Structure 1
Amino acid sequence: MNFKGMKSSNPAMSKFEQQSMSLGPVDELIVDDSQRMTVNGTINKTGILLMIVVAVSAWSWNTMLSNPSLGYGLAIGGMIGAIIASLVVSFKPHTAPIGAPIVAALEGLFVGAISAIFEMRYPGLVVQALGLTVAVMFSMLFAYRTGLIRVTETFKKVMIFAISGIMLFYVASFILSFFGAAPSYFEMGNNSWFNIGLNLVIVGVAALSLVLDFDFIERASEQNTPKFMEWYGAFGLMVTLVWLYIELLRLLARFQDD
């Protein structure tokens, strides 16, 4: 089975081309069309994962409002747990049917708590961020389907470089936070032009990552890929959407303060 050309800049998806060699004789897993990955199947599973994120987020939101100490613990635990679980799924695509829902639940813990924090300070901000996330997703889908944005090898390489840099920035900031030296980018209310510009760049990269996710899902669905890859594709798309939502939430908040 040929997996060439099935690259994605998404941190979750980019591991697949490396893992394809360890998947084993995947052709033997395909008996009929019902066992093949499809675009519709991936969309359905993406919907399931997003519903898990929303349901857990609602509980985490309420917990943050009623018990802030526990809410902060859920946010930190959810973030760390989601990172670890995402790495497992990324390196072991076979685990996606179980691992992807776990990641969704853990991300829900973080998303709900952080959303409640922003909403308490800026009422109505969460609805705006959600609306913008949906709008950006459909805009990127339109751009991809109409060919306004073409997924070339050069484009993929640039995106991989950009996302790698952003992920390194996140990790370094998290480590520095333990020493009280985290960048001001993550401070609520610190709205310097540099932070706004950086936020805009990160939002742009997250939005363009959706195009690569769409391309990955379409290409994988065309290449006789086993059914479990629907969960893997849905997992990658969910990760990007949550990332985009959080960064849009942060960006909108920057414009709320005078």
Structure 2
Amino acid sequence: MSFFKSKNPALRSGTFTQAAVRNLSAEPSMTIEGTVNKIGFLTLLVFAGALFTWQMFHSATDPSVVQPYLIGGGITGLVLALIIIFKKTTAPYLAPLYCLAEGVALGGLSAFMNYIYPGIVLQAILLTMGILFSLLVVYRMGIIKVTERFKLIVVSATAGIALFYFISFIGGFFGFQIPLIHSSSTFGIIFSLVVVGIASLNLVLDFEFITEGAESNAPKYMEWYAAFGLMVTLIWLYIEILRLISKLRER
């Protein structure tokens, strides 16, 4: 499993072991309750940022008004996420900023999509929350076992999807588009269903990550890092569900 450990800096099995070694003093340790509280706080920040651009869009009903916020929020969120992943001690300070930035971007995107397909945002939010709580119950009941093989499969599939999107992004500059991503054809819908499935399975990895951190007595700042990781997955899942529903509505 050396491939998994070396290629996944955010979820590698040694993350909490290394952190715990540095937390041998009497400093407070990471807990599940503390992580849940921070997830709740970060969720509120996402909604606060989203409300800002949502109201801005509906005041002007002009996509060009929120487009700079959508692009700027997305780029800012990406930069902050990369910093947090490679410097975990920055999570308590940068995770809230990341959620605000992503919220601003999501608010603009959601308002625009809801303008085209009325009610789609509420559907996407309910489905995202439904998947989150359903998988949490399944995980707590031990129905899904997070083995190293399971981690490797999910991480590899996620990396493949990321590469697919990256190729599509670069291709856009040269007039080349991958139809599966945006097409409402049968294969386009199947592709979106697969991506939603992979994003959902990443939630299981996040649950395991939080549990492992609490059991390893990781330092307190890892609560922010684990909460940040879950928020990254939830935001991705929401966007993919939004895309899937829009394809179905288009048909």
Please name the residue that 2:10 is paired with: 13
Matching of residue 184 in structure 1 with residue 179 in structure 2: yes
Please name the residue that 1:46 is paired with: 39
Tell whether the 8 Å contact from 1:46 to 1:234 is kept in structure 2 after alignment.
yes
After TM superposition, list the pairs within 5 Å mapping 1:29-178 onto structure 2: 30-32=25-27, 35-65=28-58, 66=60, 67-178=62-173
Distance 1:12 1:80 in 2: 21
Distance 1:180 1:19 in 2: 44
Matching of residue 238 in structure 1 with residue 231 in structure 2: yes
* SS of match in other structure, 1:46: helix
Please name the residue that 2:22 is paired with: 26
Distance 1:98 1:15 in 2: 22
After TM superposition, list the pairs within 5 Å mapping 1:212-227 onto structure 2: 212-227=205-220
Tell whether the 8 Å contact from 1:202 to 1:247 is kept in structure 2 after alignment.
yes
Matching of residue 195 in structure 1 with residue 188 in structure 2: yes
Q: Which stretch of the first structure deviates more once superposed, 206-215 or 59-68?
A: 59-68
Q: How far is 1:106 from its partner?
A: 1.2
Distance 2:241 2:123 in 1: 9
Tell whether the 8 Å contact from 2:16 to 2:213 is kept in structure 1 after alignment.
no
Q: How far is 1:64 from its partner?
A: 2.8
CA, structure 1 residues 230+24, in 2 after alignment: closer, same or farther (shift >3 Å)?
closer
User: 5+ residue gaps in structure 1?
Assistant: 1-6
CA, structure 1 residues 233+174, in 2 after alignment: closer, same or farther (shift >3 Å)?
same
For residue 92 of structure 1, what is the amino acid of its counterpart? Answer: K
CA, structure 1 residues 12+191, in 2 after alignment: closer, same or farther (shift >3 Å)?
farther
User: 5+ residue gaps in structure 2?
Assistant: none
Tell whether the 8 Å contact from 1:16 to 1:93 is kept in structure 2 after alignment.
no
For residue 181 of structure 1, what is the amino acid of its counterpart? Answer: F
Tell whether the 8 Å contact from 2:74 to 2:105 is kept in structure 1 after alignment.
yes
CA, structure 1 residues 146+52, in 2 after alignment: closer, same or farther (shift >3 Å)?
same
Q: How far is 1:54 from its partner?
A: 0.4
| Percent identity between the two aligned chains | 42
Tell whether the 8 Å contact from 1:176 to 1:182 is kept in structure 2 after alignment.
yes
Q: How far is 1:257 from its partner?
A: 2.1
Tell whether the 8 Å contact from 1:15 to 1:90 is kept in structure 2 after alignment.
no
**TM-score under structure 1 length normalisation:** 0.88
CA, structure 1 residues 19+218, in 2 after alignment: closer, same or farther (shift >3 Å)?
closer
Distance 1:114 1:178 in 2: 21
Q: Output the aligned Cα RMSD.
A: 2.2
* SS of match in other structure, 2:144: coil
Note the alpha carbon deviations across 1:117-170, whole angstroms, 9 max, x for none. 110011011101100111100110011011111101110010110011111122
For residue 14 of structure 1, what is the amino acid of its counterpart? Answer: L
For residue 178 of structure 2, what is the amino acid of its counterpart? Answer: P
For residue 124 of structure 2, what is the amino acid of its counterpart? Answer: A
* SS of match in other structure, 2:57: helix
Q: How far is 1:73 from its partner?
A: 1.4
Please name the residue that 1:3 is paired with: none
Please name the residue that 1:4 is paired with: none
For residue 50 of structure 1, what is the amino acid of its counterpart? Answer: T
